[in-house]
Structure 1
Amino acid sequence: MYFQKIIILLLFLLCSTAFCLNAQDNEIHIATGYSVANLHWSIAGNTDGKDPDILSELVWSRLRGPLWSLGGRYYFAKKWGVELSAGYHDIKKGRVVDKDYAQDGREGNYYKEQFNSQGKDATVDAMLNYHVGNLWSFEIRPFIGYTLQKQEVLMLGDEETERDLRSSYKTTWMGAQAGVNASRAFNRLDLRIDLSGGLLRYRAAALWNLIEEFAKPVSFRHYTEAYQVKGMAELGYTLTSKIRIMGYYRLAHSDAWKGTDRAYYTDGSSIDTRLNWVTTTGKAFGVGLGYLF
Structure 2
Amino acid sequence: MHAKSIVLLSGLGLLAFPLSTLLAAPVLQMHVYEAVPDQLPAANKLVGQAVEPQRLRLHIYESPQKTAEKKTPWLEYDKADIYFKAGYRRDELRWSIAGPGGQPNILSELTWKDIEIATVNLGATLYTKENWLVNLDFLYGEIYDGKNQDSDYFGNNRTREFSRSNNGADEGSVMDLSVGFGKRFEWVLNERARTRYEWRPMAGLYYYSQDLKIVDGFQTIPALGPFPGLDSSYDATWYGPWIGMENLFIKQDAFELGLNFKYHYAFYDATAQWNLRSDFAQPESFTHEAEGDGFVTELTGAWHLSPRLALTVDVRYQKWLADRNGEDKVYFANGNTAKLKFNEAEWESFGINLGLNYDF
TM-score (norm 1): 0.88
Equivalent residues in 2 for 1:77-92 (5 A)?
77-92=129-144
Contact 2:88 2:351 in 1 (8 A): yes
Q: Name 2:327's counterpart in structure 1.
A: 260
Q: Name 2:357's counterpart in structure 1.
A: 290
Contact 2:165 2:217 in 1 (8 A): no
Question: Are the structure 2 counterparts of residues 143 and 125 from structure 1 closer, same or farther at C-alpha, using a change threshold of 3 Å?
Answer: same
After the TM superposition, which of the residue ranges 152-161 and 239-248 deviates more from structure 2?
152-161
1:30 to 81, 84, 88: 84
Q: Name 2:94's counterpart in structure 1.
A: 40
Contact 2:166 2:217 in 1 (8 A): no
1:170 to 235, 249, 259: 235
Mapped partners of 2:275, 2:268: distance in 1: 23
1:185 to 239, 250, 254: 250
Contact 2:263 2:296 in 1 (8 A): yes
Give, as a single letter, the amino acid of the residue that structure 1 aligns with 2:144: K
Mapped partners of 1:177, 1:135: distance in 2: 29
Mapped partners of 2:339, 2:303: distance in 1: 54
Mapped partners of 1:161, 1:275: distance in 2: 29
Q: Name 1:110's counterpart in structure 2.
A: 162
1:83-105 per-position Cα deviation (integer Å, ceiling 9, x unaligned): 11100111111000000001112
1:36-68 per-position Cα deviation (integer Å, ceiling 9, x unaligned): 00000000002x5x2110000000001102110
Q: Name 2:46's counterpart in structure 1.
A: none
* Secondary structure in 1 matching 2:157: helix
- Is 1:153–2:212 an aligned residue pair? yes
Give, as a single letter, the amino acid of the residue that structure 2 aligns with 1:107: T
Mapped partners of 1:145, 1:79: distance in 2: 17
2:287 to 204, 221, 227: 221
Q: Name 2:308's counterpart in structure 1.
A: 242
1:143 to 202, 218, 233: 202
Give, as a single letter, the amino acid of the residue that structure 2 aligns with 1:101: Y
Give, as a single letter, the amino acid of the residue that structure 2 aligns with 1:221: T
Q: Name 1:4's counterpart in structure 2.
A: none
Mapped partners of 1:210, 1:108: distance in 2: 24
Of structures 1 and 2, the larger Rg is shown by 2
Equivalent pairs, count:
268
Mapped partners of 2:240, 2:156: distance in 1: 34
Shift of 1:135: 8.7
2:347 to 255, 280, 286: 280
1:209-246 per-position Cα deviation (integer Å, ceiling 9, x unaligned): 23221110000000111201101111111111221111
1:204 to 253, 270, 274: 270
1:107-126 per-position Cα deviation (integer Å, ceiling 9, x unaligned): 11000110000211000110
Which one has more relative contact order, counting CA pairs under 8 Å at least 6 apart? 1
Q: Name 1:61's counterpart in structure 2.
A: 113
Give, as a single letter, the amino acid of the residue that structure 2 aligns with 1:82: V
Mapped partners of 1:132, 1:185: distance in 2: 13
Mapped partners of 1:274, 1:202: distance in 2: 14
Mapped partners of 1:135, 1:166: distance in 2: 57
Give, as a single letter, the amino acid of the residue that structure 2 aligns with 1:33: G
Give, as a single letter, the amino acid of the residue that structure 2 aligns with 1:224: A
Moved over 4 A (4+): none
Give, as a single letter, the amino acid of the residue that structure 2 aligns with 1:144: A
Q: Name 1:8's counterpart in structure 2.
A: none
State the identity as a percent. Answer: 26
Shift of 1:158: 5.2
TM-score (norm 2): 0.72
Give, as a single letter, the amino acid of the residue that structure 2 aligns with 1:290: N
Shift of 1:25: 5.9
